[in-house]
Structure 1
Amino acid sequence: MPISGIPSRADLVDHLVRTRIAGEVATPRDNNLSHYRKLANGDRHYWLGLELGDRWTDEQDVLAVMAERCGVVDDPEHRSGQDTIDVELTVDGLDRMAARLRKAAEGRQRVLIATGHPGALLDVHGETGRALRRAGCEVVRIPEGLTTDEGCVVQFGGVAVFERGATLWHTHAPEPMTAILDGLEREGRPLPDLVVADHGWAGCAGQRGIDSVGYADCNDPALFIGEAEGTMQVTVPLDDHVIDPFFYEPMTAYLLGAAGLT
């Protein structure tokens, strides 16, 4: 049944598990382990804009962080089949993100909103941006004409996204965020006080020293490592592309309610 209004924690937990945003998620275990291995082997595509150096060269260390901060199965011998996201960690992450959003609203800070998952998380980010704007925050308008080698960086409803061939693209790349931050500096405009994002957009901002909060799936370990190291402020674990984007609406309502932004 749909949830109206702001759900309680218990109702949200039930909803997230039922819709597989958390709990037994669709991302298979072998895919998770493959990404952990590639990160440990230095494949920068999986670093999501962070600079991890030689600190995470052991796949088992990556798995340990993911078990602690995301709730994947901690048994290294579990190599295939189902994997999990601990729903309590998801809601704990939303509470931490809400605290940072509340701080932004109280200080009327400059906030940049961006997503590499326009097919699923665009409305989550859009609603967050609109709530912050109503609270008196400046939702940063990105410079015009930004491009990367792959396409253009544009903004819809206050959310920065990656466009290619008149289509919004799913991307893990940090280059779009690099283009935005470099563009702001070229124009002599201040950088944001806070970035709310995901994927390489969030990682790049955190690496540049900006307070960055974001969402990450269980096959994207870099942002969890970033939070463990203090580069990321908050990383919320969830399946970032469930079949129906409307399933995220109760989560967004809970987040904004906890932040005092409803």
Structure 2
Amino acid sequence: MPIPSRAALVEHLVRTRIAGDVATPRDNNLSHYRKLANGDRHYWLGLELGDRWTDEQDVLAVMAERCGVSDDPEHRAGQDTIDPELTVAALDRLAARLRKAAAGKERVLFATGHPGGLLDAHRRTADALRAAGCEIVAIPGGLIADEGMVFQVGGVAVLERGATLWHTHSPVPMAAILDGLARDGSPLPDLVVADHGWAGCAAQRGFDTVGYADSNDPALFIGEAEGTLQVTVPLDDHVFDPRFYEPMTDYLLDAAGLPV
């Protein structure tokens, strides 16, 4: 399959609802923005936001700017959107950081709290960086977090419970990895590529972090706005078919100068 052009990727994102009119409804988005503003740490995704984001409208303004949701506070229900142009622009910024990692043969840690959607995108990116000479960080064995086991699938850290890869927003699994590496005296990552609380935790601890986030997960966009995260890519993080992310990953790797 040829590498999609920017215009072709935008069309693909809209057609597959990775961006454009996404499945997440407006009321769900606003509910999550409100809970973040009210101090519910589940929605902070491992970041420490203090009292800087206590106004729901400030959260909405960031999400409109960086994700493309409607900025109309009176739009309370029905459809909401992710701007595909913002998605591609963030992919370009992510590609620039991956290119830097490849040039410096950096140590890179991958992790996902959305294995049903983003696992293969992370895995392919890890494989491409490994081929370019980067070290993909191997996590310590035997890690336990949130009543599950933390291990790697294709170089990507995930949480497993009951023989099932777990969808989690928790920062605790990433904390277990970083604490385990430090305890073992293993080299820490130069870059973390992740999502959900895995990304928030790493960024809060001061690691260069890039990640993906949905329109109802505002914390990582706030983290980018504050400079805690380097890049947050807006997208629907669990569409109907994970293969829909393949053209997006092709575009990303090609833009980064990595093998597709």
Q: Counterpart of 2:29?
A: 32
Mapped pair 1:139 → 2:111:
no
Residues 113 and 158, structure 2, Cα contact 8 Å, conserved in 1: yes
Aligned to 2:116, the other structure's residue is in SS state coil
Q: Counterpart of 1:50?
A: 47
Mapped pair 1:236 → 2:233:
yes
Runs of 5+ consecutive residues of structure 1 not aligned to the other structure: none
AA matched with 2:167: H
Q: Counterpart of 1:62?
A: 59
- CA distance in structure 2 between the aligned counterparts of 1:110 and 1:206, rounded to whole angstroms: 16
Mapped pair 1:89 → 2:86:
yes
- CA distance in structure 1 between the aligned counterparts of 2:33 and 2:188, rounded to whole angstroms: 32
Q: Deviations over 1:143-197 (max 9, x none)?
A: 0000013211010110000000111000000000000000000001121000000
Aligned to 2:75, the other structure's residue is in SS state coil
Aligned to 2:192, the other structure's residue is in SS state strand
Mapped pair 1:112 → 2:139:
no
Q: Counterpart of 1:194?
A: 191
Q: Deviations over 1:180-238 (max 9, x none)?
A: 00000000112100000000000100000000000000000000000000000000000
- CA distance in structure 1 between the aligned counterparts of 2:123 and 2:242, rounded to whole angstroms: 13
AA matched with 1:142: I
Q: Counterpart of 1:18?
A: 15
Alignment of 1:156-167 (within 5 A): 156-167=153-164
What TM-score, normalized to structure 2? 0.99
AA matched with 1:57: T
Runs of 5+ consecutive residues of structure 2 not aligned to the other structure: none
- CA distance in structure 2 between the aligned counterparts of 1:40 and 1:190, rounded to whole angstroms: 36
Aligned residues: 259
Residues 112 and 158, structure 2, Cα contact 8 Å, conserved in 1: yes
- CA distance in structure 1 between the aligned counterparts of 2:173 and 2:57, rounded to whole angstroms: 31
